[in-house]
Structure 1
Amino acid sequence: MTFGRSFWIVGIAIILLVAGSLWFFSSKSLDDTGPAYSVGKVERGDIASSVSATGTLSPVITVQVGSQVSGTIQHLYADFNSRVKKGDLIAQIDPALFQARLAEAEANLKSARAGSDKAWVGVLDAKRQWERLQRLQQQKLVSESDVDIAKFAYDTAIVEHKVKEATAAQARAARDREKVNLAYTLIYAPIDGVVISRDVDVGQTVAASLQAPTLFTIAQDLTRMQIETEVDEAFIGSIAEQQPVQFTVFAYQNRKFTGRVAQVRLNPKVEAGVVKYNCIIHVDNKDLALKPGMTATVSIEVGRRENILMVPNTALRFVPDWPAEQLKGIRNKMKRAEGLIWVIQGENLQPLPVTIGFVGEKETEISGDGVEEGMAIAVPPKRGDSEHKRRFGLSLF
């Protein structure tokens, strides 16, 4: 009795082990084989093609405000984010030195004018002496040489007066220059806008001997921005002015901003042997969400086709898992076709030659005899797709 019970227990265990093994290998075979294809459709819609790039946002017009004279910053009347109007006083350089120079120039001008006036008196005196000797010479009271000497003195006085006039003119110019330099100590906003950078502090010394130091950077209008991006030479031929642009920034990753291509610059940039061209994109920023310096990921729409028949790009790359000779025969029959899609007819696939039109990022325009909207076609299988799976394995029943 014990032996019989043991026999049945061992038998049941063997059956369960065999069944489990068969199920395991059958299931593994199913998982490894996977779906043969997924189902796609011929659809009617729009296709857009784009070129991607990155760039930096900046104001359309930015003015760097500098100083034309050297000195110490005495006052600052504007700061970061200050809104200014054209002509507003935004900074002042200590004017003491320039006021002293102007006073000196004024004194030099007065001295030069006095010298000119004195020389003119000399001219008048020399003229009178010459004219008097001319009259005396007519009366034979003086010699002709005395008249010549007086004439020479008169001519010399005229020349000396001209020299003094020139000296006075130089002094006047020096005075005017010092007036201008004194005026340069007051620095005004050249445009309406917003101060986006302040590069000096009160008490700081600025030197304008070689070039004007930058004190402020003013953006004229932050409601209009631009993106300066670089496009590879392989794609620059498809970029044109007024093409629509979409872009995102890291600060608002779920928001898409729009703009248009404003300019494609002709000057090339070569980096590591790669030729690129600057592309300027104008952007509306009425809500001031965009800030100067932000990095923009740009998509420039370079082409669009609307209301056309299209298929996923993957449909044109799909090849069924058929014998190589069978596929070769189909290709030979349709070798003149630009493309080939596989139409699902029940449980069968039927090849259909098509003409390829506009190619987008995900879809391609097609046309040809037999192409209809809504037609079911085969595309490469997706992971986890349960439609039209081709599986091989063992079955217990």
Structure 2
Amino acid sequence: MNRSVHWSAGRTTRRRRPAWPGLLVCVLAGLAALAEGSAWAQQTPAPVHVDAVRSEPLTQTVPVIGRLVAQQAGLVAARVSGPILEFRVQVGDRISAGDVIAVLDDSTMKAERDLAAAGLALARAELDTRKAEIALSRQELQRIEGLKKSAAFSQARFDDVRQQVVIAEAGAREAEASVTSARALLRLAEINLDYTQIKAPYDGVISRRLSETGAYVSEGDALVNMIADHSLEVEADVPSNRLPGLTPGTVLDGRLDDGITFKATVRAIIPDENPLTRTRAVRFTPDFGAAAAGIAGLLANEQSATLQVPLGAPREVVSVHKDAVIQRSGDTIVFIVADGIADSRKVIVGEAVGNRFEVVEGLAAGDLVVVRGNERLRPGIPVKVEEGS
């Protein structure tokens, strides 16, 4: 009996053992959560850099191969005939406008100039004679007019002298025309004499010599070929269905084969379509920026260049910086900042626009998004926007 009771009492005691260890764990967990919440509430704002969502044109491009072309290039020809006395340039020489390329024998031209000068002197002397005749005739006319009231006056003589004045004046006008003609002939002779020195019409480089010292050249014969390599444009044959994205003033990105990049501005679209390729030539004005001084003299006519031609007319899109876009739990999100608090926003992005993405859905122009410091952000925490962002 006593034994049985002791066993039962023992079972009863084990079943009602105090539960204070579990309660203590719960209390400690609650205190830890309270402390964590208090610390979170007093957390220092996280430093972040932000960037504004903006609206900008989106242009998709395709590469088109073009080439550098000289605005001035071609043959330099003789303007008068004669043997070449001296050649002053070699292939590869860089010359400036007005520099002498070659000199022709000028003895004939000097003789023609002297002959024209003599003709001018003769015409001027003839004019002086005619003017003297006019003065003499007018003097005689005045003398006869003074005799009108005397018996010595002769009307016939008066009429003859008056006619002589008219003839003398006509002869003077003819002499003046002769002087003008002689002066023009002298000017032509001087021009031809100047043309015995063949001069560069523009700055450039001699690419070919087409004659030699001692050779006789006729008027219009080519002596050298020149290229103005400092006034190059870019020409590209653009498919006609890509032309809507090109208007005069449109700026494109360009690149040379050696990696040098530049900006190309549309200057003109040539209204002449190739029926085989369905392309039209487009001329661009290149701008090499800071690299222009370093590549001066290194560019060449017909050098290859690649242009990024737009597929069509640009369209306005809302864009966000690429650094703002992160992936979490399979979603594409960005953190926006409003009133010092960060909040996450799901977004749908589209085409790339340089270092930005088109935003199809989720953001509006003007929203501030975190681009640096967003890796550990969580919605609702305070943030501090750093200066310079």
> How far apart in 1 are the matches of 2:223 and 2:321?
51
The answer as to whether partners of 2:207 and 2:227 remain within 8 angstroms in 1 is yes
Residue 190 (structure 2) aligns with:
179
> How far apart in 1 are the matches of 2:283 and 2:143?
84
Residue 159 (structure 2) aligns with:
148
AA in 2 matched with 1:77:
R
Residue 250 (structure 2) aligns with:
241
AA in 2 matched with 1:149:
D
**Structure 1 range deviating more: 95-104 or 48-57:** 48-57
AA in 2 matched with 1:291:
A
AA in 1 matched with 2:241:
A
Q: Write the deviation string for residues 321-342 of structure 1: whole angstroms up to 9, x where unpaired.
A: xxxxxxxxxxxxxxxxxxxxxx
Residue 268 (structure 2) aligns with:
265
TM-score with structure 1 setting the length = 0.57
Residue 127 (structure 1) aligns with:
138
The answer as to whether partners of 2:235 and 2:281 remain within 8 angstroms in 1 is no
Q: Write the deviation string for residues 32-76 of structure 1: whole angstroms up to 9, x where unpaired.
A: xxxxxxxxxxxxxxx994322222223465586444434443322
- 2:350 equivalent to 1:357: yes
Q: Give the drift of 1:272.
A: 1.9
Residue 292 (structure 1) aligns with:
301
> How far apart in 1 are the matches of 2:259 and 2:59?
16
Q: Which has the larger radius of gyration?
A: 2
Q: Secondary structure at the match of 1:140?
A: coil
> How far apart in 1 are the matches of 2:359 and 2:130?
98
> How far apart in 2 are the matches of 1:62 and 1:262?
22
- 2:316 equivalent to 1:307: no
AA in 1 matched with 2:244:
G
TM-score with structure 2 setting the length = 0.58
The answer as to whether partners of 2:229 and 2:301 remain within 8 angstroms in 1 is no
The answer as to whether partners of 1:65 and 1:218 remain within 8 angstroms in 2 is no
Q: Secondary structure at the match of 2:251?
A: coil
Q: 1:355 to 1:201 in 2, by over 3 A?
A: farther
Q: 1:306 to 1:281 in 2, by over 3 A?
A: farther
Residue 205 (structure 1) aligns with:
217
The answer as to whether partners of 1:309 and 1:366 remain within 8 angstroms in 2 is no
Residue 88 (structure 2) aligns with:
77
> How far apart in 2 are the matches of 1:118 and 1:133?
23
Q: Write the deviation string for residues 57-101 of structure 1: whole angstroms up to 9, x where unpaired.
A: 234655864444344433221222212234322222332232222
Q: Write the deviation string for residues 91-140 of structure 1: whole angstroms up to 9, x where unpaired.
A: 22332232222122122212212222222232233223323333344321
Q: Give the drift of 1:177.
A: 1.8
Q: Give the drift of 1:271.
A: 1.2
> How far apart in 1 are the matches of 2:251 and 2:203?
28
The answer as to whether partners of 2:251 and 2:263 remain within 8 angstroms in 1 is yes
- Determine which of 73, 98, 107 is the counterpart of 1:96: 107
Output aligned runs, 1:1-397, within 5 Å.
Answer: 49-59=60-70, 62=73, 65-202=76-213, 203-208=215-220, 215-219=224-228, 221=230, 225-239=232-246, 241-248=250-257, 255-272=258-275, 274-282=278-286, 283=288, 286-287=294-295, 288-300=297-309, 307=322, 357-358=350-351
Q: Give the drift of 1:175.
A: 1.0
AA in 2 matched with 1:256:
G
The answer as to whether partners of 1:105 and 1:174 remain within 8 angstroms in 2 is yes
Q: Give the drift of 1:199.
A: 4.0
> How far apart in 2 are the matches of 1:368 and 1:162?
90
Q: Secondary structure at the match of 2:322?
A: strand
The answer as to whether partners of 1:308 and 1:365 remain within 8 angstroms in 2 is no
> How far apart in 2 are the matches of 1:136 and 1:238?
93
Q: Give the drift of 1:297.
A: 4.4
Q: Write the deviation string for residues 127-161 of structure 1: whole angstroms up to 9, x where unpaired.
A: 23323333344321242121111111122112112
The answer as to whether partners of 1:48 and 1:305 remain within 8 angstroms in 2 is no
> How far apart in 2 are the matches of 1:365 and 1:53?
24
> How far apart in 1 are the matches of 2:122 and 2:250?
64
- Give structure 2 stretches of 5+ with no counterpart: 1-57, 331-346, 363-389
Q: Secondary structure at the match of 2:245?
A: coil
Q: Give the drift of 1:171.
A: 0.8
Residue 34 (structure 1) aligns with:
none
Q: 1:290 to 1:366 in 2, by over 3 A?
A: same
> How far apart in 1 are the matches of 2:174 and 2:267?
59
Q: Give the drift of 1:356.
A: 7.0
- Give structure 1 stretches of 5+ with no counterpart: 1-46, 249-254, 311-342, 344-353, 370-397
